[in-house]
Amino acid sequence: MSKRISKEQINLRFNITTLFVYIIGAILIIQLLNLQIVHGEEYREQSNTRLTRISEIDGSRGDILDRSGNKIATVRAAYNIELYKTNIENQELNNAILELINVLEKNEEKYEDTFPIKINPFEYTISEGTLSSWKKKYDLNEDATAEEAFYKFKEKYKITNESIEEVRKIICIRYRITTEGYSNTKSIQIASDIKQETVAELSEKSSNFAGINIVEDSIRTYTSGSLASHIIGYIGNINEEEYKELKDTYDRDDVIGRTGIESLFEDYLKGENGEKQIDMAVDGTITAEYITKEAVSGSSIVLTIDSNLQRVAEEALKNTINKIATGGFSETIDTKAGSVVVMKVDTGEILAMASYPDFEPEKFVGGISTSDWNAYKDNESNPLWNRAIQSAYAPGSIFKMVTATAGLETGAITIGEKINDTGVYRYSNDYQPVCWYYTNYRRGHGYLNVSGAIKNSCNYYFYELGNRIGIDTLAKYAKYFGLGKKTGIELPNESAGTLASKETKAKITTASWQGGETLSAAIGQSYNSFTPLQIAKYIATLVNSGKEVNPTIIKTILNADGTEESKENIEKYANEKLGITNDETEENFEIKPENLSAILEGMRSVTSETGGTAYNVFRNFNIEVGGKTGSAQVGNDVNAWFTGFAPFDDPEVVVVAMVEKGAHGSYTAEIARDILAEYFGINSQNVEETTTAVPYTEQER
């Protein structure tokens, strides 16, 4: 049986609750009176002398590393000086600015100066076209001299100093405050990347510099100068249009990748800024600071290249170009540019990729100077151009293995069949191309099989072979090797090149394909035009019996949280950025072992037997090399190629060297020799001493 609560008990409980409410209300009223009346003035004063500012913490850009983890592009700590608005008197602000500039100048620091008047003598630095509007903007008389305008600004900023040098220093910063604006939460940057001793001095005298804040930043730096510059690329300051589109993730003073890996993998490399809350008094004194959001560094991109091999490749390319240009091969030729690719046969990994001339990515950090930009832009050899992937050239005789493969695989020729090179190929009455050997010696090579034709680079043999198989079959096999289309390497602006075919000609002219054009295509001329990287893929595919080898320059990506990006994610990301779709289905292609053996034997004899077009270069080389020289006529000039692989019996690496206006493919073979010597640990100096003494002969055109 439940108890019943009496009416008296209910009334008692109600009265106690009411009393409790009254007590709480009274306490709140007393506290409110205390805040507003008793201590109101004190608390208002404290509130008015405290400011809170949110400052960004730099999320540093990710590193770019070689395959061994050596840093090629990284960041270094830097310190910038910022100025915030504070509640101090005008004279105190001017004094602080002057002392700051004096410290910067004493320590030889650069600071931004946009005030358009010089002193000693007084002179406007603004253009005549904008001077009138500038005077109007700052309420100056139309005919005001530079000296009169200077003193107007002195008066405007209430500067009492007598020295015009000191006045000029103060105006410099005050003018930037006027033009750019600043507040308690928005700063202007006075100087960037200042020295450690400057940081120490300013920190020691911090009480003298109201509103001055030293911010730690990170600056892109390239540890090896121009090494791999065309692979790495360069960065630039984000422009106004980019900022409008990317302002959710970028600040106005951020950098962004412009070319190369810096550009394509921008989304990975870019760090995420953090935030720090700073509490300060109105006089600029910081009272407390704490992190509200952690910064996150960008991911590190690990490349497949080997820095040491890359360095040797660049030096070998440069040295050979200079040797050709200065008559080191018995003739002086005006050559200035070229490229080289070194690729692993089994994986397609790029171990080195060089283009000459090159550039220094460091010059673009913080904004490239006008003089440096003009030097690059006006250079006729275009140092910013990556010739290994962006320039396509007629391949000349290095294409002949494609023709040989097509002929052998279709049965148009057999391994043992010999064709008699009489020097002049009498295709028709009005078209009778000649072999290069006939041009030099007024006779042909005589009877040659496919291996001998490759060794001697016999044009006549390949004219006949091209005539037998026709352009459609030739183009079909060239496509098997990946020629005439992009390789899909993870770099922007790759050229697809051009493959000689009826379809290609139809895009250019309404004229029909002529049989004589097939002869030209069969020796790597006509419309054929490929990048050095495409040639590297073609040779790697060849020595792999026709199995497609896809070039890659990305080893892996290491994220800031310690995880490693999957190969699938990297490929998907790169393809989306490059606009590559994998819609095309490749036809299966496998070269018969006996046919491949005959072709590769021809390439071996190029470097290993007397009469081979690169024999003089490799005659004493410790590793047996399969190779092919090529020289392609372009107008009055001849571009020079060499492509090779080693070791011959178990290929590990492919090298492709190309020199614009290089004259003879045998000249460029020296580039490959030096690279292979480094790769296999051979003393290249001894190799050179025993090879270059032999005069060059029998070089195909």
CA dihedral 28, 34, 35, 38 (to 10 degrees): 160
Per-position DSSP letters for 8-61, written without gaps between them: HHHHHHHHHHHHHHHHHHHHHHHHHHIIIIISHHHHHHHHHTEEEEEEEE--PP
296, 290 Cβ separation under 8 angstroms? no
What six digits make up the tokens of 344?
């692993």
Listed in sequence order, the residues at least 6 apart from 5 whose beta carbon sits closer than 8 Å to its beta carbon are none
CA distance 281 to 409: 84
Q: Helical H runs in 557-694?
A: 567-578, 593-608, 615-618, 665-679, 684-691
- Tell me the residue length of the chain: 701
pLDDT at residue number 277: 82
Distance separating alpha carbons of residues 195 and 602, to the nearest angstrom: 62
Q: What is the pLDDT of residue 284?
A: 59
Q: What residues in the chain have per-residue pLDDT under 70? A: 1-51, 282-286, 583-587, 683-701
Whether residue 516 contacts residue 509, with contact meaning beta carbons closer than 8 Å, is answered with: no
Instruction: Return the HEC string of 167-206.
Output: HHHHHHHHHHHHHHCCCCCCCEEEECCCCHHHHHHHHHCH
Enumerate the domain spans of the chain: 88-180, 307-364+385-548+586-691
**Distant-in-sequence, close-in-space partners of 126: CB < 8 Å, separation ≥ 6:** 116, 134
Give the H or E element holding residue 405. Answer: helix 400-410
Could you tell me which of 321, 332, 305, 307 has the C-alpha nearest to residue 356? 321
- DSSP letter, residue 301: E
Q: Edge-to-edge strands of the sheet including 653-659?
A: 350-356, 338-344, 653-659, 637-646, 626-634
pLDDT in tens, 46-56: 444 466 777 77
Half-sphere exposure of 676 (CA within 13 A, CB side): 30
Q: Which residue has the tokens 């770099």?
A: 491
Kindly provide the residue ranges of all beta strands, DSSP E only, lying in 84-172, ordered along the sequence.
117-118, 123-124
C-alpha to C-alpha distances, 640 to 247, 321, 372, 632, nearest whole angstrom: 48, 11, 31, 7
Q: Determine the Cα–Cα distance for residues 192 and 267; give it in Å rounded to an integer.
A: 25
In this prediction, residue 17 carries a pLDDT of: 59
Q: Candidates 3.40.710.10, 3.20.20.10, 3.40.718.10, 3.30.930.10; correct CATH number of 307-364+385-548+586-691?
A: 3.40.710.10
Place of tokens 């010089």: 118
Asked if 529 contacts 497 with a C-beta cutoff of 8 angstroms, the reply is yes
Q: Which residues pair with 643 in a beta bridge?
A: 628, 656
Helix, strand, coil in percent for the chain, rounding step 5: 40, 20, 40
Query: What distance in Å separates the CA atoms of residue 164 and residue 150, rounded to the nearest whole number?
Result: 9
CB neighbourhood size of 373 (10 A):
14
Q: Which residues pair with 340 in a beta bridge?
A: 354, 657
Beta bridge pairs of residue 420: 447
pTM: 0.84
